[in-house]
Structure 1
């Protein structure tokens, strides 16, 4: 058995480095993002594949307090038969088990909890190839993206949350001496978690979006119930399995982390989220349920990441081909099934100035369509970029949008030789006018974007600010060679409460963010109530309670 304190000492250098990186905001990663043999050796990839294959058709090995039967709810977007079943948890039993585990978790202190958390991350990293397969075959991400976004980048986001939580919970000294004349006191400060935490997973990025809340709650002293989306249980089930194994080996109650799998329609998320002992809710998913949680989980602090109208304002550029290539990739990556993918592209109807000459709005649309075709012309490369459509809801929206009268780029099917059962589609781009706000102020999650013509760049910025303030966004991008336009765009983004990227033409894309440097979400517009990761994301998860006593100074 390795104690929590021993785990903290073993991982202290990494924790110090993570806290430093979160402050410096430069590039840093603790987990190599390339699935190359040069990085991970010859055996890691085949071992991960075997481990994943061994899970298929089995009941997943994880203890669940008060389990009542099993559920099997997943369908691989790639057509692979999963056939995995999971113990079905009873909400009341899960909460009772979490409460019973709380005192022991509280008593080991922030450093001990951080040590355990980093050990969990390290053991997940040891299974990263297996984890990547679980993400690929539940979300539809292509393997390399699943390895990165679902594996190493998710682990970085988890470590970032650990760093913020540890820094916040150790800012006040655990012990202090106080003297005032003849009076002498010893004071003790103890970090106490807010209560039971609930992480409600999503179907597209279950680990990347789930790990920050999971690890922030753990390090701040809270037990956590993990409630996966019925379509993407496996990645979070593996996570819970590792959590429980590490907790047990550290001599702790494994019910500090439990799994709450359900059948679709059971409503266990709503039941747990409104339980009086559940005091923290982390949710990623639809605006409808996110809004419901914010309105009804009144006993809890609720961290939501929902939907939004991610916007691109195009004014002018000094690198037209770079702009087109960058934007085409942003629209294509994972078939637009990212909460940061651009939806609304605002262009003055009189056109834009570029290093290739003036381009009308129609010419810009045609050039963007050509850039998409160039990027996705090779089926193998297209499949690796697009991934698979995750569910019928995405496909339904794509079909509906495809009936629009002015199509800039049609969505077409792509065949994948390795997975012929996968549904893969290229992005659809539809031309609209700024007056068609009924259409573009609705979120069309998936490979659907709108090229919206406006009266001017000033009008574009007005539409951008007004729509994001009203409906939210998680990303925004402006292209301009004008300092005054860039200043106006920055001001509009601040008014709208959204992060802004400027003139991206190279290997950085608006829908990707880097842990320890980029914030994800803001809490300043309706799309999210917090940012990954900042102080607010951890501060509401704990309290500091003080005790004091007289001491003899001699």
Structure 2
């Protein structure tokens, strides 16, 4: 059997195997109801895989990690678990020019493989990644500081769901373009003009994924799989603090590509170090035509301003905001917000940071509660959530970066003479990892005029309760700060229809997703794949959305050819 026949045979088998899931995924992106291709609970996975994951993770520590590459110039790896130990894994480093030159040479073959083959490869890889979820959870936990449960869900099945979503959008977008058509134009007495037209999906070029350190798989998979399925080779540049989850991902993709008969170097890892960063160099290389970035606004803005040769997709910092106007049940609201503020120690791009509360108080079930009473309810909620250190560590996780610990102290000191500490952040001892960096939320009170303190993102377990002159000012300040800083998430609590209508209009004006009166077990931090659009692309926090058609369509172009139809065809 020839190499091409083997390739087609394997891809056809995979496509047939995964077609039912692909059909469901395409249906889900149009209907936008609840659907998830992979179970999120660890108990749904083989017991032996769960039991062996920690030991398997241990075997990776202190060892070289082998991948397919080209032009290896050394080894690097400086990952430190936020739970208190060094990973000591050494990853290959490649000469950037050789890496890009190699991937450039592979574009034609991967383009000619066609959408069906590329989708088959992607879905087979995603299914293998799903089987790897227990080990991936270990890798995510000990590079990001996520709790064990969050690392399993967000790093495993939830990230894989996002990958399937990107594949479904890509397949749907490419399927809209017919491969060929016989075009006939009536010409009156002269008969008709007949042309045979063909259309080709043509990739943009090399795609660069610049990953973040807190959600390396969840944030990277959409762009990675969207680019790969639309025909673009992908270079993944992981954050130096969180390499292992993406190294495991690349290893799986390279194995699947090899089995399909394609060069595994269609996906490669570009590892760098803090003293010698690679992102800017790679991002401005003319061979890089697509860039996906999650991280700071500083570098995200730089990419948008300097990587002119590429289509740039960014998710950056934002000022996630909560407006409290009125509510029916303070206990339920405080419980929901208290957990939102505590989840993963505020290290999510959707974590709330600014909470506007009228100084005159809010109506709670027909009774006016003062600012102080509402603040006390939030303080009590967080205190209850974090009262049992062992239980609290299960959702607080660990602080990913020591810089966040410094930021907590700086924010605490900055309000001196201007505000007050409502709830101080304290260290907790993790029952399994005594050296882990675990912190409870810091809750600060400020006046509305102190925008210089609360008006920009303070990443980590830091939140501000801001006294306003009323809901009208709360809405006005939200508009002002979100137009300047952007946000991924906005929430409001109100029992008044007119205020709700104003909030809906505000959300559209500043292009941010709005959560209304959440008081149960769904939180403003959460984003449901196949239903919620993560980010809008319409405010400074992100210039794209995970995932919509625009996130896909800019990754390829359509090239046509046309010729007079032959008599046989006509």
**CA positional deviation for 1:466:** 1.0
Instruction: Please say if 1:73 is aligned against 2:78.
Output: yes
Q: Contact 1:350–1:361 at 8 Å: present in 2 too?
A: yes
Q: Contact 1:466–1:496 at 8 Å: present in 2 too?
A: no
Q: Contact 2:80–2:143 at 8 Å: present in 1 too?
A: yes
Q: 1:138 aligns with which of 136, 143, 146?
A: 143
Structure 1 unaligned regions, length at least 5: none
Q: Contact 1:63–1:87 at 8 Å: present in 2 too?
A: no
Q: Who is 1:42 aligned against?
A: 47
**CA positional deviation for 1:18:** 0.4
Q: Contact 1:104–1:253 at 8 Å: present in 2 too?
A: no
Q: Contact 1:4–1:108 at 8 Å: present in 2 too?
A: no
In 2, the alpha carbon distance for the partners of 1:176 and 1:5 equals 25
**CA positional deviation for 1:257:** 0.3
Q: How many residues get paired?
A: 552
Q: Deviations over 1:48-79 (max 9, x none)?
A: 22322221111001122111110011000001
Q: 2:235 aligns with which of 205, 217, 225?
A: 225
Q: How does 1:109-148 map to 2 (within 5 A)?
A: 109-148=114-153
Instruction: Please say if 1:210 is aligned against 2:192.
Output: no
In 2, the alpha carbon distance for the partners of 1:124 and 1:441 equals 40
Q: 1:391 aligns with which of 398, 401, 412?
A: 401
Q: 1:413 aligns with which of 421, 427, 438?
A: 427
Q: Deviations over 1:227-247 (max 9, x none)?
A: 000000000000011111100
Q: Deviations over 1:333-362 (max 9, x none)?
A: 000001110010000000111128321111
Q: How does 1:97-246 map to 2 (within 5 A)?
A: 97-180=102-185, 181-246=191-256
My pick for the range that moved more, 213-222 or 179-188, is: 179-188
In 2, the alpha carbon distance for the partners of 1:266 and 1:377 equals 43
In 2, the alpha carbon distance for the partners of 1:517 and 1:319 equals 28
Instruction: Please say if 1:377 is aligned against 2:393.
Output: no
Q: Who is 1:357 aligned against?
A: 367
| SS of residue in 2 equivalent to 1:116 | helix
Q: 2:285 aligns with which of 260, 275, 281?
A: 275
Q: Contact 1:308–1:473 at 8 Å: present in 2 too?
A: yes
Q: 2:267 aligns with which of 257, 282, 290?
A: 257
Q: 2:95 aligns with which of 83, 90, 111?
A: 90
Q: Who is 1:534 aligned against?
A: 548
Q: Who is 1:30 aligned against?
A: 37
In 1, the alpha carbon distance for the partners of 2:245 and 2:464 equals 33
In 1, the alpha carbon distance for the partners of 2:325 and 2:442 equals 22
Q: Contact 2:198–2:562 at 8 Å: present in 1 too?
A: yes
In 2, the alpha carbon distance for the partners of 1:176 and 1:265 equals 55
My pick for the range that moved more, 177-186 or 154-163, is: 177-186
| SS of residue in 2 equivalent to 1:511 | coil
In 1, the alpha carbon distance for the partners of 2:276 and 2:563 equals 51
Q: 1:481 aligns with which of 495, 501, 510?
A: 495
**CA positional deviation for 1:103:** 1.1
In 2, the alpha carbon distance for the partners of 1:48 and 1:549 equals 58
Instruction: Please say if 1:16 is aligned against 2:23.
Output: yes
| SS of residue in 2 equivalent to 1:520 | coil
In 2, the alpha carbon distance for the partners of 1:16 and 1:146 equals 28
Q: Contact 2:330–2:377 at 8 Å: present in 1 too?
A: no
Q: Deviations over 1:95-137 (max 9, x none)?
A: 1111111111101111211111111100101111000100000
Q: Contact 1:98–1:256 at 8 Å: present in 2 too?
A: yes
**CA positional deviation for 1:144:** 0.5
In 1, the alpha carbon distance for the partners of 2:305 and 2:426 equals 40
Q: How does 1:313-324 map to 2 (within 5 A)?
A: 313-324=323-334
In 2, the alpha carbon distance for the partners of 1:145 and 1:300 equals 33
Larger radius of gyration: 2
Structure 2 unaligned regions, length at least 5: 1-5, 186-190
In 2, the alpha carbon distance for the partners of 1:27 and 1:530 equals 23
In 2, the alpha carbon distance for the partners of 1:176 and 1:20 equals 26
Q: Contact 2:294–2:315 at 8 Å: present in 1 too?
A: yes
Q: Contact 1:184–1:553 at 8 Å: present in 2 too?
A: no
| SS of residue in 1 equivalent to 2:399 | coil
Q: Who is 2:443 aligned against?
A: 429
Q: 2:457 aligns with which of 424, 443, 459?
A: 443
**CA positional deviation for 1:411:** 0.5
In 2, the alpha carbon distance for the partners of 1:52 and 1:118 equals 25
**CA positional deviation for 1:553:** 4.1
Instruction: Please say if 1:524 is aligned against 2:564.
Output: no
Q: Contact 1:70–1:87 at 8 Å: present in 2 too?
A: yes
In 2, the alpha carbon distance for the partners of 1:308 and 1:377 equals 30
Q: Deviations over 1:351-381 (max 9, x none)?
A: 1111283211111111100000111111111
| SS of residue in 2 equivalent to 1:313 | strand
